[in-house]
Amino acid sequence: EAQVTQNPRYLITVTGKKLTVTCSQNMNHEYMSWYRQDPGLGLRQIYYSMNVEVTDKGDVPEGYKVSRKEKRNFPLILESPSPNQTSLYFCASSYRILTGQSLYGYTFGSGTRLTVV
Amino acid sequence: AQTVTQSQPEMSVQEAETVTLSCTYDTSESNYYLFWYKQPPSRQMILVIRQEAYKQQNATENRFSVNFQKAAKSFSLKISDSQLGDTAMYFCAFMKHPGAGSYQLTFGKGTKLSVIP
């Protein structure tokens, strides 16, 4: 089954304790991205990656790191989590569409509910 | 920068009735894509429908259809014959054409739809 797998689904941690949220896709998508969802704010992009070893900041990158060493994996790293990073996180992937081809839209993971206390 | 506005934080509709969710956006781009995503209580992000800006014809997917008014920068979602399973948060989203070098989805803040038996 084509899917984006995020782990863990729920995570409670303490301020300052480094954590990693994993994301893996099995569709050979070039493009991967992380979003956070907060009430009243919708989803905002944290980081994205156009391909292996190519990453760039989104709209809210502060306090996060990412890496793309393999095409299928795109982990989100919080080096020193703080309470304002309590949120619902989504990983998403897509084909890197060339001009003229159809756009299928993103495939989203099931989300990770992170609480930082 | 693009912005997406959903002016209805919450709506309700009787089962089997029709409801329209509003979305407006602001962009200087001429070629782009628009999406509606559904997020049920399971929090999975599900693509409902998409529209390419260069297409005049409004997109339709079964009970879901859009009214795309490019000049007015309006992209409303109509749900016909509402079902209990349509209860969810609905997000409108914008993406520049990938030829512009960006795959970022810009989301509105969402409309919470409740279908009443």
CB distance from A43 to chain B under 8 Å? Answer: yes
Number of helices (H), then strands (E), belonging to chain B: the values are 0, 12
| A89 CB within 8 Å of a chain B CB | no
Distances (CA, A) of A29 to A2, A52, A71, B91: 11, 11, 7, 23
Q: Provide the mean pLDDT of chain A.
A: 91
Res A96: pLDDT: 66
What is the reported pLDDT for A100? 44
Residues of A in contact with B10 (CB under 8 A): none
Percent of chain A past pLDDT 90, that is, above it, reads: 79
| Cα R_g (chain A), whole angstroms | 14
Mean pLDDT of A85-114: 80
Checking if the pLDDT of A86 tops 70, the result is: yes
Tell me, what's the pLDDT at A51? 87
For the stretch B61-69, contacts whose Cβ atoms lie closer than 8 Å and that sit 24 or more positions apart, written own/partner, are B64/B36, B66/B34, B66/B36, B67/B20, B68/B34
| A37-85 pLDDT per residue, tens | 999 899 999 999 988 999 999 999 999 999 999 999 999 999 999 999 9
Cβ–Cβ < 8 Å for B2, B96 = yes
**Interface test with chain B among A103, A110, A114, by most B beta carbons within 10 Å:** A103
CB contact under 8 A, B98 and A105: no
DSSP label at A11? E
Cα separation, A46 vs A76, whole angstroms = 9
d(CA A35, CA A44) in angstroms, rounded, equals 5
Q: Can you spell out the DSSP letters for A75-89?
A: -EEESS--GGG-EEE
